[in-house]
Amino acid sequence: KQIVQFDGKPKIGYVYSSYLIQQCNRVPNLTQRASLVHHLLESYGLLEKVLSLTCDKVNDDVMRGFHSSDYLDFLKGDVDIEDESSEEFGLGYDCPPLENLYDFIAVIAGGSVAGAKALVSGSVDVAVNFCGGWHHAQRDGASGFCYVNDCVLAILELETKFKRVLYIDLDIHHGDGVENAFAYSRKVFTLSLHKYEEGYFPGTGAVQDVGLGQGRNYSCNVPLRDGACDETFIHVFQTVLQEVMVRFRPEAIVCQCGADGLANDPLGTFNLTSDAYARCTAVIQGYGLPSLYLGGGGYHKANASRCFTTILASLLGEKLSTDIPEHDYFDWYGPSFELDISKGLRRDENSPEYIRILLQQVLGNLKLISS
Ligand code: V1S
Ligand code: CA
Ligand code: ZN
């Protein structure tokens, strides 16, 4: 049973600063996407319906709440890719040495921490930062286009007020950095749905991986096969989330909305449309808890932008016209110039039998959460 705790419409905060967008536009393989997203939201008039949350760079103390001093000191120096320590700290193929890396990570972290602070102060019920969601960054190194784990830093901020925080990861990749950060904790429950297959990045997230030590049973992994379609994804998500909510009873939620599960994503192999994402976020919204929604992957930039826009509209309870309004980035949305994304032709390899066994295993694991 869903309990709605907001009185009337939730107050939604949108994290924005021009510097955040400018820096987020530099993320490898996602250049310019942040501008695309911001301008599509604006063109639909959605930014008039949210509270703007400004943000700044986080200070060193905040950063050291998760990342190691060695890693941070390394990023503050002149990163030389020829240097041995570059590899040690994860800089290289997926995470090239961007200029002024430390300023970059400080503002990327600042966006999600600003969203979390607004939830802690109660100035908003829901916060959104599509420039966040960099879930692979580890305590002591960059990984998979992620140099700083803003998801972890935002959760740490939420923990100052909320006793139990649930992290949900909708990106097609396993949310390994966040899971590792809280693997030993009972205060943060991590749930990731992802493609899991040999050779697929990052290679972790088996259904048997449920957390460590005191935190055993407080991590949940839902490995899926190629071609996952909206119906499969929503069914699995809703079923698992319901059980997590009842057993873990979170006081706040962080949801990474990586859009690389969309059909035809250059790095993904699922077959989702924006509808799957909007329905998952609507399910979360139905629980009425303070929630922070972040971005993440999504390498067909126009489609990711369509998806994030559909998510925010759904959170606001707004219905959008499928005709993309004319604006500075309009050309990116051709040839359809429509908001809706059609599903692809991939076969859903998640057979009903596979899903039945998967849910049996996952729900079995969740029964072991101590209440
Ligand atoms: N899949 C994939 C992929 N593609 C790339 C890539 C593409 C173009 C480039 F110019 C540079 C890199 N890297 C990868 C993956 C990392 C995916 C990160 C996803 C991030 C997220 O969406 O979850 C959140 C923002 N990296 C790898 O597969 C690693 C290698 C294993 C690939 C082969 N090389 C030679 C070594 C590293
Ligand atoms: Ca995921
Ligand atoms: Zn991803």
Residue 170 sits in a domain whose CATH number is 3.40.800.20
Q: Residue 145 above 90 pLDDT? A: yes
Across the range 311-333, mean pLDDT stands at: 98
At residue 2, the pLDDT reads: 43
Regarding pTM above 0.80, the answer is yes
At residue 9, the pLDDT reads: 87
> Does ligand 1 have an atom closer than 6 angstroms to the CB of 33?
no
Q: Ligand 1: which residue has its CA nearest to atom 17? A: 144
Residue 295 to residue 260: CA distance in whole angstroms: 10
- In the reported structure, the alpha carbon of residue 175 is separated from the centroid of ligand 3 by a whole-number distance in angstroms of 8
> Does ligand 1 have an atom closer than 6 angstroms to the CB of 201?
yes
Flag whether 4 is in a domain: no
Q: What is the mean pLDDT of the chain?
A: 97
ipTM: 0.97
Flag whether 42 is in a domain: yes
How many domains would you assign to the chain? 1
Flag whether 2 is in a domain: no
In this prediction, residue 83 has a pLDDT band, given cuts at 50, 70 and 90, of confident
Across the range 224-235, mean pLDDT stands at: 98
Q: Residue 70 above 50 pLDDT? A: yes
pLDDT in tens, 282-308: 999 999 999 999 999 999 999 999 999
- In the reported structure, the alpha carbon of residue 132 is separated from the centroid of ligand 2 by a whole-number distance in angstroms of 14
pLDDT in tens, 27-56: 999 999 999 999 999 999 999 999 999 999
Across the range 160-171, mean pLDDT stands at: 99
- Point out the residues that are catalytic: 136
Name the residue range of residue 247's domain: 12-366
Q: Are 276 and 260 in contact (CB under 8 A)?
A: no
> Does ligand 1 have an atom closer than 6 angstroms to the CB of 204?
no
Flag whether 104 is in a domain: yes
Across the range 346-351, mean pLDDT stands at: 98
Flag whether 259 is in a domain: yes
Flag whether 7 is in a domain: no
Flag whether 3 is in a domain: no
At residue 3, the pLDDT reads: 45
Flag whether 73 is in a domain: yes
